[in-house]
Structure 1
Amino acid sequence: MSENLKTIKEIADEIGVSKQAVWQKIKKESSIDLRQFTSKKGNTVYVNVDGQKAINTAFLNKTSTKKRQRKDFVDDNVDNSVDGNPEGNEEILFLRNLVSELQSEKKDLHKLLDQQQRLALQDKKVLEEYKSEINELKALKMPSQETEFKHLDNQYKDEVNALKEKLENLQEQIKDQKRIEEQEKPRKWWGLWRK
């Protein structure tokens, strides 16, 4: 890789902002068409020297900073020179830009937090509605399966007992029938002395 190429992270570190701030700046600045300044290797985007200059310029651009200063009610008429050093102005503008970026991110985070809280309340409300519906269904007191099984079990036992009685009666009748048949059977003459 050429030494001239840098990642967005490296550029962000040099400027002193986050990677997200660099990406937001690129999206906001219509003058930066990143495609002409970048190459991609794997998932990493590398920016050439011209792209790096464009990004640095965007962060130090006085007009975009002034728009943001007005939006955030910063007084542009105050002399911002540091000890009469005009280079200090660039540093102050950069810091103001950084502060405004952080304020913007903070507002976005507040919006997300509000949305999350609203969703949590909605979830809680739905959960309470489900709980009340479940309690209403329980209140209907539908016959439990256990009671039904006991009823079926008792019915089955009664039927089995009745069948056992019938079987015992039949067995008794069969025994009685065999005894009667044995008694009525004519005896052979040779079997008379055996008894």
Structure 2
Amino acid sequence: MSENLKTIRELAEELDVSKQAIQYHIKHLTNKNRQTNDKGIVVLSAEEQGFIKSRVDKQTNKPANDKQRDKETKLDINNYLLSELEEVKKNRDKQLAVKDKQIENKDSQISQMQNLLDQQQRLALQDKQLLEEYKAEFKELKSLTVAPHDDGEKEVAAHKQPEPENSTPDSQPKPKKWWPFRR
């Protein structure tokens, strides 16, 4: 383990406070992801330690007669905050890069959808034109007179629809009633 990394217990013993007090001050740190050592124990960096030390000093009202210690504490806090700020900037840049890729992907999807919509509209127009042509041909064929066959019979246009076989109400099957079966 590196010299500048300390566990919560080590820092609590150094500052002569409880581990719970250190945990309380850890809540005020901005970094939510804590470093752990090889045993899985949470360790604090030098910046985090300085931040917690300054908070413990303020809370216990220890007289800060030593100006050098005050300067070190302020430097530690400033270094910690600067490192956190850099980390936030890096995360922001990563998120922006991901968002840019997503936007590019969406733009390409939109252009594909527009192409597909254009194709669909063109096909619908072609279908409509073909349908109009078929209607015109059908009207022309319908308007033609009936052509004679070899045996003298006339061919009749097959535009009549056959009548349904079960069109009368008597020929349709009657539904059975269910209540006589419950007896």
- TM-score per shorter chain, which class? 0.3 to 0.5
Between structure 1 and structure 2, the one with the greater Rg is: 1
**Greater helix fraction, Structure 1 or Structure 2:** 1
